[in-house]
Structure 1
């Protein structure tokens, strides 16, 4: 059984005879340390660095056991690495992500085509978000797509969506919309069943349509995505979808119709403790009330 970061952290803390609260002091909360040790979340590179200093160990110790592979445990190691990478992506910790990808490239464990594609895909995200290298990111994402020529998989569709997101970030909305449509069409053609991915793609369509001033179409996409959220009882992107509708209505000079959607978005963001969106909504409401 391969030791995970959580197991190593727990062993080192006990060896140092520290409570979770003592280890957390000045770094994070006790609850966060508890979650790290349970494997429910991964510490950012900065937090892990501070923890390693308090434990008086090299930060690399947290990865040594995770990344030792043998013929018997290679698959388990790869699965564990994929999960760590996904957590880092969710936390937008591209610095730690780049570090782990470099380790994996050196070890050459990712020999399966799907795993190679996964690694190249996430390396491209580091190029864009960490190194600000748009050309290299798009080149690697294109290469990642070309690795799998037999059938379009869910991972391929996610890579298409990443390309669309990069074009959206650099304000090339037509290209972004084209790639999002490509992802949507492949989602339908290959009968992918992941509803969260479908919601993500529809949200991407709505954002691009809004950026191109196709507001009615954007609102329609949001409403269709909201219906899916309700059907599967998921809050995934639900707040963002309600906010997107409200924003489009305001731009269309239909502020009176936007209030109900702003209120729904605000309620969801309160549940999620999404302070960034809550601040935006607060400022938006102040502006609307003034008018």
Structure 2
């Protein structure tokens, strides 16, 4: 509650405490409110504000208003990150003033997480990306920031994978796997982020030809989608399963079945990027069948 606003208004009107509270409450009650933050009952507070011609609502904090526009933008960016619309997401991120988020540690971490992954997809310099994720890792670690630390480890693993340093990449992906299975999904955004981590880790293990591990992670992601009624990562997990099947030279009908499942999920989510990728995959598989 903005008690300072209350006191400033009383003093600006030239009212002593005794004058303001006359006929409403004791001076001790008003003093405890102004000096100790002990809020009187609502009826008294309304009468005091009415005498000051101060709307009671102006004393209450404006929860979420300051950064509401940034939150809405980040929600859209995170959705585009899921649906692989990376350039759209990157353009929208440039419209957010990161400096204005620094007072809200969680929003600041979210900004760096989104920025880091989008810079990966933009193939930005390695050191620039590592610096972004380092700002997450070096931030104060608590329950609310845990998921962003895991995302930062995932991003760093992706960078080292891109650079061909398998050992360093596996070090970071392993740090994620040690904790991700026990992470409590409290919000739908948490679920998206856990799925993002599982998917990228599955991609890594596929790249190093640990197909069984990759398949396990993809199936786990699909189970999370099913249990939480989330469809956005179904397509990406199914696509990765199809790629794994291709790498293992699985029977064509099994590969096509996985492609068809992934296409169905992609249509539900209107994921044009995934649909285009699946079309090329299917054509390639059918050509190899001839």
Q: TM-score normalised to the size of structure 2?
A: 0.63
Shift of 1:188: 4.1
- 1:97 touches 1:126 (CA, 8 Å); kept in 2? no
Per-residue Cα deviation, 1:227-262 (whole angstroms, up to 9, x for no partner): 222222321211111111111111111133212111
Q: Hey, what does 1:219 align to over in structure 2?
A: 215
Q: Hey, what does 2:282 align to over in structure 1?
A: 285
Q: TM-score normalised to the size of structure 1?
A: 0.62
- Distance change in 2, residues 1:245/1:135 (3 Å): same
CA distance in structure 1 between the aligned counterparts of 2:242 and 2:129, rounded to whole angstroms: 33
3-state SS, counterpart of residue 249 of structure 1: helix
- Distance change in 2, residues 1:149/1:241 (3 Å): closer
Per-residue Cα deviation, 1:33-70 (whole angstroms, up to 9, x for no partner): xxxxxxxxxxxxxxxxxxxxxxxxxxxxxxxxxxxxxx
CA distance in structure 2 between the aligned counterparts of 1:98 and 1:131, rounded to whole angstroms: 17
- Distance change in 2, residues 1:195/1:249 (3 Å): same
Matched pairs, number: 217
Higher relative contact order (CA 8 A, sep 6+): 2
- Distance change in 2, residues 1:172/1:109 (3 Å): same
Q: Is 1:186 aligned with 2:179?
A: yes
Residue segments in structure 2 that go unaligned for 5+ positions in a row: 1-59, 81-85
3-state SS, counterpart of residue 100 of structure 1: coil
CA distance in structure 2 between the aligned counterparts of 1:146 and 1:192, rounded to whole angstroms: 23
Q: Is 1:94 aligned with 2:90?
A: yes
Greater shift after overlay, 195-204 or 251-260? 195-204
3-state SS, counterpart of residue 286 of structure 1: helix
- Distance change in 2, residues 1:135/1:200 (3 Å): same
- Distance change in 2, residues 1:261/1:139 (3 Å): same
CA distance in structure 2 between the aligned counterparts of 1:159 and 1:130, rounded to whole angstroms: 17
CA distance in structure 2 between the aligned counterparts of 1:196 and 1:109, rounded to whole angstroms: 22
Select the structure of larger CA radius of gyration: 2
- 1:128 touches 1:137 (CA, 8 Å); kept in 2? yes
CA distance in structure 1 between the aligned counterparts of 2:123 and 2:210, rounded to whole angstroms: 33
RMSD: 3.0
Structure-to-structure mapping, 1:47-86, within 5 angstroms? 73=62, 75-86=64-75
Shift of 1:222: 1.2
Q: Hey, what does 2:148 align to over in structure 1?
A: 155
- 2:246 touches 2:255 (CA, 8 Å); kept in 1? yes
- Distance change in 2, residues 1:98/1:114 (3 Å): same
- 2:74 touches 2:93 (CA, 8 Å); kept in 1? yes
3-state SS, counterpart of residue 135 of structure 2: helix
3-state SS, counterpart of residue 254 of structure 1: coil
